């Protein structure tokens, strides 16, 4: 797999020197920020005033784009892209593969004099037609029906992607089939944003808010990842092909001391991070936080809150930039949810909130009116998560995330909400009705005129909770690091939209005089019916598993089981009701996700089998043969010291080789039967024996870089 052996790779890393000073200064950060993004500010100087105002209205308010201005915008995009050195453009989209896709077209067109002109029309901008035959569709279309369409998303700005020998204008787009079904992750996201925006406006109207601003959902995503040296990576076929280690014994030291967490960042890594920040800032991505995570070689990058659609696009760009910059620095960025067994996996903490450009509905206010809006939104979210917890679990389901959920700072597959002590106290008193003092004092009636201010920081942190309220947002910690933020936010938007819809429908029926009493009864009913979802304790504990079952909360630890909820009647109904996904689109996604899961498990099984037979068993046999040869020499010269120990080692290794051979045969049969459960079970047995051998075989012979090397040598 590599020109390096394991030992050569380690020696090469040890000999390297790190001397890569950052080129960033305080003065040039504002100048570079957004330089490669066609923002409204950037495009304004290329457009006539009336055209710009129409585009601005589309971007800020989400109104339909006037097709008559498309040519002007296309011309402006082309001129700006050419000024940045771009020779090509692409419709950048997010198919159901989970990554991004692009087909590049140059700006050139042949003229009548056999020369070329640079041209980009409104038609080129608004609609593209990539060959879509090989993208997953879940039966929506046959392979021979290759036509698919990309449609420009004006709410996410075009940007420049730079490579060593080329620059490309990237235009964010949606992707749909010839018959109009969504084949991507962006289309349902935009639909769900529209649904939640409508319900935000309705709720605020019920509360008499006449100038609340434009409704919006926002997202701040935290991206966890691992970095290992590329030379070690190239010695690991499992990392190359699956993104995770299929074999590897835990080293004596990994994360037990928690000394990596928030520790001083090594020079090579800080050089990488500085370069990442520069690239992200040029792309207008507000990268804010960087630090060492709990596991050795694990890190985190967090961006500031943005409008949801833009934040999702930005997170996809962040993952690509992390991988590209890692490669430039001789590193590999691993975003599999569990690259290394036995230590922390990597998540993507999805910090979601709703409100307007003037107010956050999930932020406790300074007056009773604002607090009433806050508690209404809070209760709507409680209802949504309880009613559709199984659908939220679907949004986190993948082969990789199954390895992570339920341990080492990853929440379990049981969906619950953490509110903290004080908010739980408030909720309990709302359920009881009437005015009662809280643990912090003050009356807590829901009447708009009676509710006092709540403290800004109403909760502590609960790192075991999958859906935790953290002051002015909900942090959904269950998504995996490799997953698109689109999936979970489509679900959160839709189910909360339904809950707000239900509340607004009731409030719209009542008179102004009855508003406070009606609101209190609505919230009281929601809490009474859905309080089972609230849990403030340790989500890792066995007691919680039992308690959750007693409460009737679903628990689907494996993806095939979890995905069944996607096609449950109640879940199809809510997604269809708000025009987020049709029944046909939902069933197609079920097929796509199941096929993806089965294929990934199949690949892992075949690779584990190959590695065991061609890399691990041969070195074990070599080790056993050497021990046997040594025994023969000792017998000849009649030496007894150490004989028993060597005989035992030979027998031990022989037994492990026999078990490996047996498990290889079991795994081969499981792979042939294409049974994911059997494949995973056989892989676990095979790994157990192989990892035991790693600690017995001569270190000089072992072909695979070990955990202690990959996690600490970089």
Q: Domain containing 139 — which CATH number? A: 3.10.20.70
Mean pLDDT across 276-298: 95
- Given a cut of 70, whether residue 90 has pLDDT beyond it is yes
Q: What is the DSSP letter of 101?
A: B
Query: Within 13 Å and on the Cβ side, how many CA atoms surround 695?
Result: 13
Domain count, the chain: 3
Compute the distance between CA of residue 128 and CA of residue 122 in angstroms, rounded to an integer: 11
Compute the distance between CA of residue 60 and CA of residue 38 in angstroms, rounded to an integer: 15
Query: Are both 412 and 461 inside the same structural domain?
Result: yes
Q: Is residue 444 part of a domain?
A: yes
Query: Are both 416 and 279 inside the same structural domain?
Result: yes
Q: Which domain holds residue 617?
A: 598-712
Q: Greater confidence, 578 or 177? A: 578
How many beta carbons lie within 10 A of that of residue 209, not counting itself? 17
Cβ pair 126, 70 in contact under 8 A: yes
Alpha helices per DSSP H over 397-456 = 399-404, 421-432
Query: Are both 506 and 636 inside the same structural domain?
Result: no
Query: Are both 153 and 238 inside the same structural domain?
Result: no
Q: Is residue 586 part of a domain?
A: no
Q: Domain containing 669 — which CATH number? A: 1.20.120.1560
Mean pLDDT across 209-230: 95
Query: Are both 572 and 612 inside the same structural domain?
Result: no
- Given a cut of 70, whether residue 530 has pLDDT beyond it is yes
Task: Characterize 607-643 residue by residue with b for buried, 16 or more Cβ atoms within 10 angstroms of its Cβ, and e for exposed.
Answer: bbbebbeebbbebbeebbeebeeebeeeeeeeeeeee
Query: Are both 285 and 167 inside the same structural domain?
Result: no
Query: Are both 339 and 462 inside the same structural domain?
Result: yes
Among the residue ranges 145-149, 479-483, 487-491, the one predicted with the least confidence is 145-149
Residue 66's pLDDT is 86
- Given a cut of 90, whether residue 483 has pLDDT beyond it is yes
Query: Of 337, 343, 482, which is closest to residue 404 (Cα–Cα)?
Result: 337
Q: What is the pLDDT of residues 91-125, one digit of tens each?
A: 999 999 989 999 999 998 887 677 777 888 989 99
- Give strand ranges (E) for 403-540: 417-418, 467-469, 474-476
Q: Is residue 587 part of a domain?
A: no
Residue 442's pLDDT is 45
Q: Is residue 25 part of a domain?
A: no
Q: Is residue 631 part of a domain?
A: yes
Show which of 181, 214, 242 is a domain's final residue: 181
Show which of 181, 214, 235 is a domain's final residue: 181
Residue 641's pLDDT is 58
Determine if residue 558 is left, alpha or beta; phi over 0 gives left, psi from -120 to 50 gives alpha, anything else beta.
Answer: beta
Query: Are both 557 and 649 inside the same structural domain?
Result: no
Query: Are both 625 and 558 inside the same structural domain?
Result: no
Residue 444's pLDDT is 40
Query: Are both 306 and 246 inside the same structural domain?
Result: yes
- Given a cut of 70, whether residue 639 has pLDDT beyond it is no
The confidence band for 86, taking pLDDT boundaries of 50, 70 and 90, is very high
Mean pLDDT across 229-250: 96
Q: Give the position of tokens 């607004």.
A: 504
Residue 169 tokens, joined: 């204008």
Query: Are both 147 and 221 inside the same structural domain?
Result: no
Compute the distance between CA of residue 454 and CA of residue 187 in angstroms, rounded to an integer: 38
- Given a cut of 60, whether residue 446 has pLDDT beyond it is no
The confidence band for 11, taking pLDDT boundaries of 50, 70 and 90, is confident
- What is residue 91's three-state secondary structure? strand
Show which of 160, 181, 202 is a domain's final residue: 181
Q: Is residue 588 part of a domain?
A: no
Residue 13's pLDDT is 81
For 22, 184, 630, 706, the CA distances from 427, given in Å and listed in that order, are: 50, 39, 73, 50
Residue 521 tokens, joined: 């009864």
Residue 452's pLDDT is 44
Taking CB atoms within 8 Å and a gap of at least 24, the contacts of 18-22 are 18/267, 18/268, 18/271, 20/271, 20/329, 22/271, 22/274, 22/275
Q: Is residue 487 part of a domain?
A: yes
Among the residue ranges 167-181, 193-207, 377-391, the one predicted with the least confidence is 167-181
Residue 449's pLDDT is 43
- Given a cut of 70, whether residue 141 has pLDDT beyond it is no
Q: Is residue 10 part of a domain?
A: no
Cβ pair 412, 540 in contact under 8 A: yes
Determine if residue 6 is left, alpha or beta; phi over 0 gives left, psi from -120 to 50 gives alpha, anything else beta.
Answer: alpha
Q: Greater confidence, 455 or 71? A: 71
Q: What is the pLDDT of residues 538-597, one digit of tens each?
A: 999 999 999 999 999 999 999 999 999 999 999 999 999 999 999 999 999 999 999 999
Residue 420 CA, distance from chain mean position: 25
How many beta carbons lie within 10 A of that of residue 96, not counting itself? 20
- Given a cut of 70, whether residue 515 has pLDDT beyond it is yes
pTM of the model: 0.93
Compute the distance between CA of residue 339 and CA of residue 321 in angstroms, rounded to an integer: 19
Annotate 241-257 with three-state secondary structure: HHCCCCCCCCCCCCCCC
- What is residue 665's three-state secondary structure? helix
Residue 113's pLDDT is 74
Mean pLDDT across 34-43: 95
Q: What is the DSSP letter of 612?
A: I
Q: Domain containing 513 — which CATH number? A: 3.30.590.10
How many beta carbons lie within 10 A of that of residue 60, not counting itself? 14
The confidence band for 705, taking pLDDT boundaries of 50, 70 and 90, is very high
Mean pLDDT score across all residues of the chain: 89
Query: Of 532, 244, 295, 537, which is closest to residue 412 (Cα–Cα)?
Result: 537
Query: Are both 500 and 399 inside the same structural domain?
Result: yes
Cβ pair 184, 138 in contact under 8 A: no
Q: Give the position of tokens 């953290």.
A: 470
Query: Within 13 Å and on the Cβ side, how many CA atoms surround 22?
Result: 18
């Amino acid at each position: 797999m590599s020109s390096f052996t394991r030992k050569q790779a380690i020696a090469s890393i040890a000999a390297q020197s790190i001397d890569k000073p950052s080129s960033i200064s305080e003065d040039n950060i504002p100048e570079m920020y957004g330089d490669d993004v066609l923002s409204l500010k950037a495009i304004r100087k290329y457009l006539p005033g009336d055209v710009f105002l129409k585009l601005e209205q589309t971007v800020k308010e989400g109104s339909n784009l006037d097709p008559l201005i498309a040519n002007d915008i296309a011309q402006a995009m082309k001129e700006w892209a050419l000024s940045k050195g771009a020779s090509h453009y692409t419709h950048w989209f997010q198919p159901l593969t989970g990554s991004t896709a692009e087909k590049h077209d140059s700006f050139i067109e042949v003229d009548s004099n056999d020369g070329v002109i640079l041209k980009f029309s409104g038609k080129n901008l608004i609609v593209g037609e990539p060959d879509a035959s090989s993208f997953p569709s879940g039966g929506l279309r046959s392979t021979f029906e290759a036509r698919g369409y990309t449609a420009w998303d004006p709410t996410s700005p075009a940007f420049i992607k730079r490579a060593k020998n080329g620059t490309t204008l990237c235009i964010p787009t949606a992707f749909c089939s010839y018959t109009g079904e969504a084949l991507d992750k962006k289309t349902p996201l935009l639909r769900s944003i529209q649904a939640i925006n409508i319900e935000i406006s309705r709720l605020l109207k019920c509360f008499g808010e006449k100038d609340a601003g434009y409704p919006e959902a926002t997202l701040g995503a935290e991206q966890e990842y691992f970095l290992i040296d590329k030379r070690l990576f190239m010695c690991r076929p499992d990392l190359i092909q699956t993104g995770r280690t299929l074999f590897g014994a835990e080293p004596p030291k990994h994360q037990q001391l928690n000394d990596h967490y928030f520790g001083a960042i090594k020079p090579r890594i800080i050089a990488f991070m500085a370069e990442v920040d520069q690239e992200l800032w040029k792309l207008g991505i507000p990268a804010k936080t960087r630090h060492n995570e709990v596991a050795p070689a694990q890190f985190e990058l967090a961006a500031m809150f943005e409008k949801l659609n833009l934040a999702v696009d930005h997170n996809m760009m962040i993952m690509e930039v992390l991988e590209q910059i890692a490669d430039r620095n001789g590193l590999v960025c691993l975003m599999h949810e569990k690259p290394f067994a036995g230590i922390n996996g990597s998540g993507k903490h999805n910090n979601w909130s709703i409100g307007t450009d003037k107010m956050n509905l999930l932020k406790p206010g300074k007056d009773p009116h604002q607090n009433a809006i806050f508690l209404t939104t809070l209760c709507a979210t409680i209802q949504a998560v309880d009613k559709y917890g199984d659908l939220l679990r679907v949004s986190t389901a993948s082969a990789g995330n199954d390895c992570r959920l339920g341990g080492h700072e990853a929440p379990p597959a049981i969906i619950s909400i953490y509110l903290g002590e004080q908010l739980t106290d408030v909720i309990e008193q709302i359920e009881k009705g009437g005015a009662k003092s809280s643990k912090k004092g003050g009356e807590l009636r829901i009447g708009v005129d009676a509710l006092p201010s709540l403290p800004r920081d109403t909760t502590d942190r609960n790192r075991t909770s999958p859906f935790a309220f953290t002051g002015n947002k909900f942090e959904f910690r269950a998504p995996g690091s490799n997953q698109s933020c689109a999936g979970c936010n489509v679900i959160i938007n839709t189910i909360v939209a339904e809950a707000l819809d239900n509340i607004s429908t009731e409030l719209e029926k009542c008179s102004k005089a009855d508003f406070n009493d009606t609101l209190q009864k609505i919230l009281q009913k929601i809490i009474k019916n859905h309080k089972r979802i609230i849990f403030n304790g340790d989500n890792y504990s066995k007691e919680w598993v039992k308690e959750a079952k007693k409460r009737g909360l679903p628990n689907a630890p494996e993806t095939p089981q979890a995905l069944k909820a996607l096609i449950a009647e109640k879940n199809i109904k809510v997604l269809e009701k708000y025009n987020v996904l049709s029944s046909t689109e939902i069933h197609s996604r079920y097929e796509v996700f199941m096929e993806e899961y089965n294929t990934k498990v199949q690949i892992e099984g075949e690779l584990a089998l190959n590695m065991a037979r061609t890399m691990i068993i041969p070195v074990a046999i070599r080790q056993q043969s050497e021990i046997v040869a040594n025994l023969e020499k000792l017998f000849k010269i009649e030496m007894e010291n150490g004989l028993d120990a060597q005989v035992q080692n030979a027998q031990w290794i022989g037994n492990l080789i026999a078990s490996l051979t047996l498990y290889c045969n079991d795994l081969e049969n499981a792979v042939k039967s294409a049974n994911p459960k059997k494949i995973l079970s056989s892989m676990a047995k095979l790994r157990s024996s192989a990892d035991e051998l790693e600690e017995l075989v001569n270190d000089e012979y072992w072909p695979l870089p070990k955990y202690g090397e990959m996690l600490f040598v970089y």
